[in-house]
Amino acid sequence: MSSNDINSTLVENRLFPPSEEFVANARIKPADFTALHKQAEDDYEGFWANQAKQNIDWHKPFTTVLDDSNAPHYQWFTDGELNLSYNCIDKHLATQADKTAIIFEGEKGDTRHISYQQLHDDVCQFANGMKARGIKKGDRVIIYMPMTAEAVIAMQACARIGAIHSVVFGGFSADSLRDRIDDAGAVMLITADGGHRGGKIVELKEAADKSLAKAGSTIENVIVLKRTGHDINMQQGRDHWWHDIIEDQSTECEPEWVNATHPLFLLYTSGSTGKPKGIQHSTAGYLLNAIVTNLWVFDLQDKDIFWCTADVGWITGHTYVAFGPLAAGSTVVIYEGAPVVPDAGRFWKICEELKVTIFYTAPTAIRALMKFGDEFPNKYDLSSIRLLGTVGEPINPEAWMWYHKVIGKERCPIVDTWWQTETGANMIAPIPGAVSTKPGSCTLPLPGIIADVVNEQGESITEANKGGYLVIRKPFPSMLQTVWGDDQRYVDTYFPKFDGKYYLAGDSARRDADGYFWIMGRIDDVVNISGHRLGTMEVESALVAHERVVEAAVVSRPHEVKGEAIVAFVICQGERPVGEEAEKMVQELRAWVGEQIGAIAKPDDIRFADGLPKTRSGKIMRRLLRNIARGEEITQDISTLENEGVVKQLQGKE
């Protein structure tokens, strides 16, 4: 065995085909799925050209499909012109102006239903208010807001006038906000007095003020939404209330027609070293994949109520809340608060009351709610739900089955989606009316996405369940254009291997005997134990398969004999084990992993806590866990954690 092979020892054989009823009503049926893949295989550029013509309203039609003259800086539909806001809102007004576009629910229970016509009027008024403050095409605007309808309105308004927006998640600190303002060279900041989260007020304006207090800020205007109504400081001349800037503004704003490659937004992701990367997405290519994946993967129908629980501060909230569903003419749900306020039934209560038909959330949220048992979801009528989805990381089979049985009542397909901030939209995911699902697998690449698993030489790995690098062999419309202000970092990060021919996802993966893809974790989350390379995700799945374990995260630390040692951070059902109970549980779990995978995968160190260090979006901060496992000083910003107290528990200081 080569030292570069990634071993896979977990095998999942359960197969769940869609019901005959679901297939009969599905937008994409098995024959359609086959036909789409064949079209892409026979004429790749022609396939994407047809999709762009069918799904986007163009102000000026394109004649060039793919420009690869400056590879790997690929550009799509380069001579076409369009406006994203027009495609999300205006094009629906003739047929469904009165249809609800957004249903907003605040954490305290306040609700709003916003029609497409009202959304148009609100977006136009805010866009005109921005223009009155001097914002023009190409200007960068930072959006730092709670999860409200106004956050989407601000994003749409920027797109309407050609401004480049960059949403900063409301859980980020003042320093993180400042880093993004500085890198983007933003001239306007849109924020709120605060937001409601977990029964508390998130002090957004206070953090924004701290961010702007440092000398040299490029921000000229700050627009403040009055959300919580508590007292805040307003700096005369710089700060303006949202309601004041839209007062007396027209409800008509002519869209700014931009080139297909015009930057739509920047979204910053944390780099493994150095400053955050500003992922730059184009207008047309991004919009196209946003539309088709909403139609294909989520099977969007006219009467659907689509709830993606992601915050707009993340790419999922862009593609599956703010843009894609609206461009497809759907109704989206926006919820401001935490999933356990006032109790762990809040998500299910919203699903019942709003008659949600499509529910899309993260495996971390599913596992967190699993911990409270079946009692809460069983209180509510979830019969309106017809499709479930997961996003953010691979879902372990046990959580998948709970989702399937308790939430979906064994009748709803689950679309387990693999994609990234950089890809802009789903890349590998089941089309629910055409693809049978397997617990834990994201199944098959979507039509037009040429994904592969390759070895160190870039050769396709044909042996079943042999892990390798996940790559995408051909450019696709929604892929990032570059890293803002740093073209070389784009090349070095995403095309560093295989002569720059393939997009390197940074994930390891395997394909099973049916060709289904299984994500094994980040390439840097592979543990090398005595020459055996193991994906940490598989060790995590083995741990979570134990009846006492709700959630687990696995990292490595150096080992003088084996090279690396496995460190597992574990959340148990019920009370956190301590003392003799913890010691007994450690031995039980080590033996369990040995049975599930093999002795080589037994964790050397198991630590228990009440939770894992997660951002408020539910993402586990694995680099922080590596610091803890290695006994290193924590220097990174932990202000975005949902619960900072778990860090001390995991360090053994509490």
Decide if 468 contacts 6 (C-beta within 8 A). Answer: yes
Decide if 549 contacts 568 (C-beta within 8 A). Answer: no
CA distances from 502 to 43, 290, 396, 490, 518 (A): 19, 22, 28, 13, 19
Decide if 618 contacts 546 (C-beta within 8 A). Answer: no
CA distances from 29 to 24, 36, 366, 432, 557 (A): 8, 11, 29, 9, 47
pLDDT for the residue numbered 462: 94
Global pTM reads 0.86
pLDDT for the residue numbered 531: 54
Q: How many residues are listed for the chain in this entry?
A: 654
Task: Name the strand (E) or helix (H) holding 101.
Answer: strand 100-105
Q: How far apart are CA 520 and CA 505, in angstroms?
A: 12
pLDDT for the residue numbered 4: 53
Pairing of strands 277-282, 482-483: antiparallel
pLDDT for the residue numbered 648: 78
Decide if 207 contacts 176 (C-beta within 8 A). Answer: no
Q: How far apart are CA 366 and CA 360, in angstroms?
A: 10
Q: How far apart are CA 119 and CA 331, in angstroms?
A: 12
pLDDT for the residue numbered 185: 96
List Cβ neighbours of 520 (8 Å cut-off, separation of 6 or more): 6, 8, 394, 467, 507, 508, 509, 510, 526, 535, 537, 538
Q: Is 425 helix (H, G, I), strand (E, B) or coil?
A: coil
Given a cut of 70, the residues of the chain with pLDDT beneath it are 1-11, 270-274, 524-526, 528-533, 535, 561-562, 598, 615-618, 635-643, 653-654
Q: In three state form, how does the secondary structure of 553-564 look?
A: EEEEEEECCCEE
- What's the pLDDT tens digit per position in 117-151? 999 999 999 999 999 999 999 999 999 999 999 99
142 - beta bridge partners?
Answer: 166, 189
CA distances from 203 to 173, 225, 587 (A): 10, 12, 44
DSSP-assigned states of every residue in 460-508 = B--STT-BEEEEE-S--TTS--EETT-HHHHHHHHS-SGGG-SEEEEEE
- What's the pLDDT tens digit per position in 63-88? 999 999 999 999 999 999 999 999 99
Decide if 330 contacts 357 (C-beta within 8 A). Answer: no
List Cβ neighbours of 438 (8 Å cut-off, separation of 6 or more): 12, 13, 14, 15, 16, 512, 516
pLDDT for the residue numbered 528: 65
CA distances from 244 to 37, 142, 241 (A): 51, 19, 5
pLDDT for the residue numbered 533: 61
Q: Would you call the peptide bond into 397 cis, given omega within 30 degrees of 0 as the criterion?
A: no
List Cβ neighbours of 494 (8 Å cut-off, separation of 6 or more): 72, 422, 480, 503, 504
Decide if 336 contacts 149 (C-beta within 8 A). Answer: no
- For domain 61-89+116-291+308-325, the question of CATH label 3.40.50.12780 is answered with yes
Architecture per CATH, domain 530-651, reads as 2-Layer Sandwich (3.30)
Q: How far apart are CA 350 and CA 360, in angstroms?
A: 13
Closest by alpha carbon to 170, among 188, 151, 185, 154? 151
Q: How far apart are CA 412 and CA 556, in angstroms?
A: 37
Decide if 336 contacts 197 (C-beta within 8 A). Answer: yes
CATH 3.40.50.12780 range(s) for the chain read: 61-89+116-291+308-325
pLDDT for the residue numbered 363: 87
- What's the pLDDT tens digit per position in 513-526? 999 999 987 776 66
CATH 3.30.300.30 range(s) for the chain read: 530-651
Long-range contacts at 367-373 (CB < 8 A, ≥ 24 apart): 367/396, 367/399, 367/544, 367/550, 367/551, 368/339, 368/340, 368/550, 368/551, 368/618, 369/339, 369/340, 369/344, 370/399, 370/402, 370/550, 371/550, 371/551, 371/571, 371/573, 372/340, 372/344
Long-range contacts at 648-654 (CB < 8 A, ≥ 24 apart): 649/576, 649/607, 649/608, 649/609, 649/610, 650/569, 650/607, 650/609, 650/613, 650/625, 652/607
